[in-house]
Structures are given as structure tokens and as C-alpha cells.
Amino acid sequence: MLSQRGRYALKALLDIARHGGARQVSAIARDESISRKFLEAIMSDLRRAGLVEGRRGAQGGYTLSRPADQISFADVVRATDGPLAMLPCVSLNFYQSCEDCPDETNCLLRHAFLDVRDATIHILEQRTLAAALGGAEARKQAVADA
């Protein structure tokens, strides 16, 4: 399950992408209904992960470190929540053997969750901030045209 931290990180990055320039934490927090203190911690994590850059000063704030079409939901979830896999033994980036599994090769759970991992990765790596915003704009236009 996606954590609150992960949800807020996605909302904050979508807000920055939507506005196209530097955004101050206070503005993001207000517009996205996120606690400013919690958002500051999240933005610090995103900065360390290389997803945003921070600038100080009156014209400062956070900007995306690369174009919105090059930041996937998978990038954000990994930065905030860690592995995308539901079991540690199927994780690509955070692999660990399961403590209670005597035979990983024949584990029926592992085989099923490899498929889940692959489907999840495919979807989250294909969904970029730009694609999400484009989809939202298309839905708004369809409602307006109806």
C-alpha cells in the first residue's frame, strides 16, 4: 500500500509540474492540503533522491530536477516508500531473502509476487508526472465538452 508520505510526494511533484516553476513549500502545502512541516520533510527526501532542486531566497522554492516526462511514479514511490515489490525476495533494488522461506526457487508465493512486481513496475515506470497531468487535462476537457 502506498504510504501517506508517498501520496503527498506525488501530489507535491504534480503541483510543481503543473505550475512549471519554482514553488514554495507553503504554497504547495496550502494548495494540496498537506501539513507544511510534513511536506518539508518529504521535500528533503525528494531532494536527496535527486527528484527536486531547492533554491533559497524570495524567488526560491523547489523545482523539478528534470522534465516532468522523465520523472515516473516509480521514481517517487521508491524515494519515499522504498521497494515496489510486496515481498523482499522479489525486489529488484532491495532484495532480501525471506526469513521463513526454506526454498526460494520452489516458493509458490514468490512466483505469484514476481508477476505482481513486474506488472506494478511496468505501470508505475510508464506513468510520468507529465502523463498524469496530461490525463487530468484530457478528463477536464471531456467534461467541458459534454
Per domain, the residue ranges of the chain are: 1-71
Is pLDDT above 70 for 42?
Answer: yes
Class of domain 1-71 (CATH, top level): mainly alpha
pLDDT at 143: 53
Is pLDDT above 80 for 32?
Answer: yes
What pTM, to 2 d.p., does this model score? 0.83
**φ, ψ of residue 69 in degrees (nearest 5):** -80, 0
Contact 90, 117 (CB under 8 A): yes
Is pLDDT above 60 for 71?
Answer: yes
Residue 133: how many CB atoms within 10 A of its CB? 15
Is pLDDT above 80 for 136?
Answer: no
- Of the candidates 25, 37, 34, the one whose C-alpha atom is nearest the C-alpha of residue 61 is 25
Q: pLDDT of 105-120, one tens digit each? A: 888 888 899 999 999 9
Contact 116, 86 (CB under 8 A): yes
Q: pLDDT of 84-93, one tens digit each? A: 888 888 888 7
Res. 145 pLDDT band, cuts 50 70 90 = low
- Of the candidates 21, 54, 58, the one whose C-alpha atom is nearest the C-alpha of residue 40 is 54
